[in-house]
Structure 1
Amino acid sequence: MTLMRTPTITRAPARTFVAATGAGALLLSLAACGGADEAVPGVSEDTITIGTHQPLTGPAAAGYSSISAATSAYFDYVNANGGVHGRQIEYIVKDDAYNPANTQTVVRELVQQDDVFAVVNGLGTPTHSSVLDFLNQNEVPDLFVSSGSTAWNDPEEYPYTFGYNADYHVEGSALGQYAADEHAGKSVCVLGQDDDYGETFLEGVQIALGEDGVTTYETYETSNQDVTAQIGAMQSAGCEVVMLATVNGFTALAVGTAAQMGFMPTWMAASAGGDYPTLVEFLGEDVAAQVLQGFTSVNYLPFSPDGEWVELFTEINDEYNGSAAFDGNTVFGMGVGYAFVEALEAAGEDPTRESLVEALESGEVVGNGIVPLAYSAENHSGYDAVGITMVDGGVQDFVGSTYRLEGESVTAIEPEQLPLDGNGIPAAE
């Protein structure tokens, strides 16, 4: 089973580009918004220009390339309903092929050539880590990083960076606690990406199970699409529960390889590699139905098939995203869009980069998850709790358990699903 690779490109949807009208005209436009001496990058009288780096091609494309399209669709919906404080949102999407060297190139283009107001939802731990210093040194708001690394939550070192996903400590500890609660006494093993993703997730599992609670830890490289040795090692070790800190393509690869080897443990996965509709695309419906029954993951967003947020996002997807396949990436991408609009509303009628950061640190931006976003001046982490999901009969949904990590303690809590108000466009209070 392999992931398809295609040539690297850099692109943005046609609707996201801002026409170049010359430096003088651009400065006049910005001055109209912020004053002659206070031009705000990316802000004109009638637009807000932001950007992102995404894996539109490369090893992570099949699992994540649809996210930015969903975010763009949500922004188109907001724009069709008047925008934010009378401005239209322009979202420049650039392909980095999940390659840190490419990420550095395209992010520098976004900041130095496209003059974006903020970078929103840059995807990937190794990729975004390569631009973290650059964005903060240039005082560019770096919002809703699409990765559960704990590196994004360092307000003192990186004051302009904010996470979004529940971090991998939270996700790993939640799955570890769920395993302890529901699969007591069974041997637990972990397969992780050979970087901060895998290591941080493992630490989270060990918070719940103890350092000796993991029988074996195997790693994979995204450049090597063969995990036979790792699966064989876990099979030989007698692993009964296997937890995956994998991207979706490698989740499918691991589960499919194990099935071919006659190895059928209980599978649990981080949210980044746990979207059932995406896994079906990799495995096929018949295989997925056989090997993913009971597949367990975590989530913090309102993706329940019969939920009101899914109903709204489906309508937006149909109208503004060409009725593209609807999955967890759709909910994630539109949830990011919702959070950005919330932040932009709270930043004021004449937003600055500083007022955007202040809006997030104020705690006014709560998102649309099963718990509120946890931002404050001391906390830039994003969601701090996750619910447990399970696949049953081809349907993935929450099964009732929600866990929050507080220090070194994993606590079961009641979810606080944020309600859908009005038309799903946040308004300033």
Structure 2
Amino acid sequence: MLAGLLLAAPGPIVPARAQATYDPGASATEIKLGNTMAYSGPASAYGTLGRADAAYFAMVNAKGGVNGRKISFISLDDGFSPPKTVEQTRRLVEQDGVLVMFNALGTATNTAVQKYLNNAKVPQLFIGAGGRKFTDPKNFPWTMAFQPNFNIEARIYANYILKNYPNAKIAILFQADDLGKDYVEGLKEGLGDKAKTMIVGEAAYQLSDPTIDSQMVALKASGADVFFHASTPKFAAQAVRKAADMGWKPLHILNVGVSSVGAVLKPAGLENAAGVISATYYKDPTDPKWADDPGYRAWLEWMQTYYPEGDRTDVLNALSYNFSETMVQVLKQAGDDLTRANVMKQALSLDFQPSMVLPGIRVKTGPGQYAPIRAMQMQRFDGRSWQLFGDIIEAQ
């Protein structure tokens, strides 16, 4: 009997494929990703991020999914309201049973659920925010942002001002939350001892404010010749337009989150935005220099096929492509071990070039390194598109 069995063997014995391992939100056929987004409320211009994420995963699913599994992307509106974010996040984790929270929008909103997600050991990945607390593995090992944090970005602007405008008088407009405070702290830290003499005016606004007209009038009256603001799209567009209406022409610095041509500069008036500067780590889809770039071509084909209603001048749609592409890379690396712990391990094992990230800047992570992007390049708006200048600056 034994001899017969041996003779019947078709060839060498091949070890069986390791058994797949799943946590809630994953199976042999599906991977559930959760997301909260401001589809309504004062930051609704960011809603295109969630719609673009959904369009990217639709493309992935049409091509067979990730390792044979389709992505189920569940995105809920939180109106950019932290209490609503808590409610929707708990629903996604406890009722919908998502494997990962991905690209949820907002500093205050992500802060509201950070402890909950870390206590539950649910990865909070590639969130649409840049606060210092989102690159803090000691206290929040399950949280990872994507972009350089706000403090680092602000230091880059401070270095630029010190080098090129050493006698500047600086006015600051900031959102009265962690986003604004991180930027202001970073700018002051970057300016060092000179901050006390260089900063001549500061004004805060609340997300619930209808306009920032009074703040802008006060900041112009400060005599500043450099104007920096840490804001969100609605108020950034108001600031650019109001400065033009008042005939105030300082060196105008925008934080990267409000540099979108479609969402901010067009509503403000392109002619009013000419000359503003910012820093970036991604390709501007309005810049003709990328016309023949393979990454841009892939992005454009995706927009035309899967998100034709999306605004091709809105850089938020390029950002979403980078976020989603990187999330898929993590899931590919995770293979059949779709536990939350392994997904987090793979997010910390990246060396990857997303299609719409600037050449020379890569997504790199490692144990203890929770900042996937740590470099930026300065850019200036010429009235039609952003123009890069200077060298790529590696943030420390």
Unaligned runs of 5+ in 2: 1-17
Q: Distance in 2 between matches of 1:376 and 1:214?
A: 37
The CA distance in 1 between the partners of 2:297 and 2:210, in whole Å, is: 36
Report if the CA contact (8 A) 1:170-1:385 is conserved: no
Residue 355 in structure 1 maps to residue 342 in structure 2? yes
Aligned partner of residue 119 in structure 1, secondary structure: strand
Contact 1:276 1:391 in 2 (8 A): no
1:275-325, Cα deviation, whole Å (9 max, x unpaired): 122124423xxx321x11111112112235332222211110110112421
Give me the whole-angstrom Cα distance separating, in 2, the residues matched to 1:201 and 1:146.
15
- CA distance in 2 between partners of 1:351 and 1:358 (Å): 11
Alpha-carbon offset, residue 39 of structure 1: 4.6
Q: Is the 8 A contact 2:211 2:235 kept in 1?
A: no
Q: Of the candidates 120, 135, 158, which is equivalent to residue 176 of structure 1? A: 158
Secondary structure of the structure 2 residue equivalent to 1:388: strand
The alpha-carbon deviation at position 145 of structure 1 amounts to 1.1
Q: 1:108 aligns with which of 90, 93, 98?
A: 90
Q: Deviations over 1:145-186 (max 9, x none)?
A: 111101111112211110112111121111122222333322
* Equivalent of 2:248 in 246, 263, 281: 263
Q: Give the conservation status (yes or no) of the 8 Å contact 1:34–1:40.
A: no
2:33 aligns to what?
50
**Residue type at the aligned position of 2:162:** A
Identical counterparts, % of pairs: 26
Note the C-alpha offset of 1:244.
1.1
* Map 1:54-203 → 2, pairs under 5 A: 54-61=37-44, 63-203=45-185
Select the residue among 315, 318, 321 that pairs with 2:301.
Answer: 315
- Counterparts of 1:267-416 in structure 2, within 5 Å, are 267-283=252-268, 287-289=269-271, 291-303=272-284, 305=287, 306-307=289-290, 308=293, 309-326=295-312, 327-365=314-352, 367-368=354-355, 369-370=357-358, 371-406=361-396
Distance 2:367 2:202 in 1: 36
Question: Shift of residue 259 of structure 1?
Answer: 2.3
Tell me if structure 2 keeps the 8 A contact 1:149–1:196.
yes
- For 1:366 and 1:152, the matched residues in 2 are separated by 22
Shift of 1:359: 0.9
Give the structure 2 partner of residue 425 of structure 1. none
Q: 1:224 to 1:393 in 2, by over 3 A?
A: closer
Q: Deviation of residue 260 (structure 1)?
A: 2.4
Aligned length: 367
Amino acid aligned to 1:296: I
1:199-227: CA deviation from partner (whole Å, max 9, x where unpaired): 11112222332232322222111101221
Cα distance in 1 between the residues matched to 2:274 and 2:74: 39
- Do 1:343 and 1:365's aligned partners in 2 also have CA atoms closer than 8 Å? no
Contact 1:136–1:159, Cα closer than 8 Å, also in 2: yes
SS at match of 1:130: helix
Go from structure 1 to structure 2 and tell me whether the alpha carbon gap of 1:343 and 1:325 turns closer, same or farther (over 3 Å shift): same
Q: Which 10-residue stretch deviates more, 239-248 or 213-222?
A: 213-222
Distance 1:365 1:245 in 2: 29
Determine whether 1:225 maps to 2:206: no
Offset of residue 400 of structure 1? 3.1
Q: Quick check: 1:300–1:385 contact (8 Å CA) kept in 2?
A: yes
1:6 is matched with none
Opposite residue 147 of structure 1, the aligned amino acid is: A
Show the counterpart of 1:239: 224
Q: How far apart are the structure 2 equivalents of 1:383 and 1:100?
A: 26
- The answer (yes or no) to whether the contact 2:351–2:362 under 8 Å persists in 1 is no
Instruction: Give the whole-Å Cα distance in 2 for the aligned partners of 1:256 and 1:97.
Output: 25
Which protein is bigger by CA-based radius of gyration? 2
Q: Distance in 1 between matches of 2:296 and 2:69?
A: 26
Deviation at 1:399, TM superposition (A): 2.0
- The CA distance in 2 between the partners of 1:358 and 1:98, in whole Å, is 29
Partner of residue 200 from structure 2, selected from 192, 215, 227: 215
User: Secondary structure, in 3 states, of the residue corresponding to 1:173?
Assistant: helix
Q: Identify if the C-alpha distance between structure 1 residues 183 and 137 changes in structure 2 by more than 3 Å, giving closer, same or farther.
A: same
Quote the offset at 1:365 in angstroms.
4.9
Native 8 Å contact 2:131 2:178 kept in 1: yes
- In 2, the alpha carbon distance for the partners of 1:201 and 1:126 equals 14
Q: Deviations over 1:70-105 (max 9, x none)?
A: 111111222222211111111111000000111011
Match of 1:24 in 2: none
Which has the larger helix fraction? 2
CA contact (8 A) 1:365 1:373 kept: yes
Deviation at 1:346, TM superposition (A): 1.2
The AA in structure 2 aligned to 1:299 is T
Distance 1:393 1:222 in 2: 28
Q: TM-score, normalised by structure 1?
A: 0.81
Specify the code of the residue in structure 1 equivalent to 2:335.
Answer: G
